């Protein structure tokens, strides 16, 4: 948030179900005057299981290689702390 200058944070996916993460983010966001938004817990699912199933079904069907429409991921944000 410091680097981007943004004042709103959206937490999504399976990590959004972590209550301790929510508690700590809320506390730090309040101090920094940043708004944090979370989906309802029933919508905080981890797509790892979905991806694993899709891969298993492709393997079972004998499909290999990149699917149609696949693209290369080119991350732009450094992973090193600033």
Ramachandran region, residue 11 (left: φ > 0; alpha: ψ -120 to 50; beta: rest): beta
**CB contact set of 41 (below 8 Å; sequence gap of 6+):** 16, 17
pLDDT tens digit string along 41-73?
888 877 777 788 888 898 899 987 777 777 777
- Could you tell me the pLDDT band of residue 81, with boundaries at 50, 70 and 90? low
Percent of the chain with pLDDT over 90: 35
* pTM of the predicted model over 0.75: no
What is the sign of the dihedral through the CA atoms of 42, 48, 54 and 71?
Answer: positive
């Amino acid at each position: 948030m410091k680097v981007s200058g943004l004042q709103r944070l959206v937490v999504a996916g399976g990590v959004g179900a972590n209550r301790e993460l929510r508690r700590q983010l809320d506390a730090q966001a309040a101090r920094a005057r940043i708004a944090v938004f979370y989906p309802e817990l029933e919508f905080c699912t981890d797509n790892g299981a979905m991806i694993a199933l899709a891969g298993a079904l492709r393997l079972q069907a004998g499909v290999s290689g990149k699917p149609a429409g696949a693209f290369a991921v080119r991350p732009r944000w450094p992973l090193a702390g600033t």
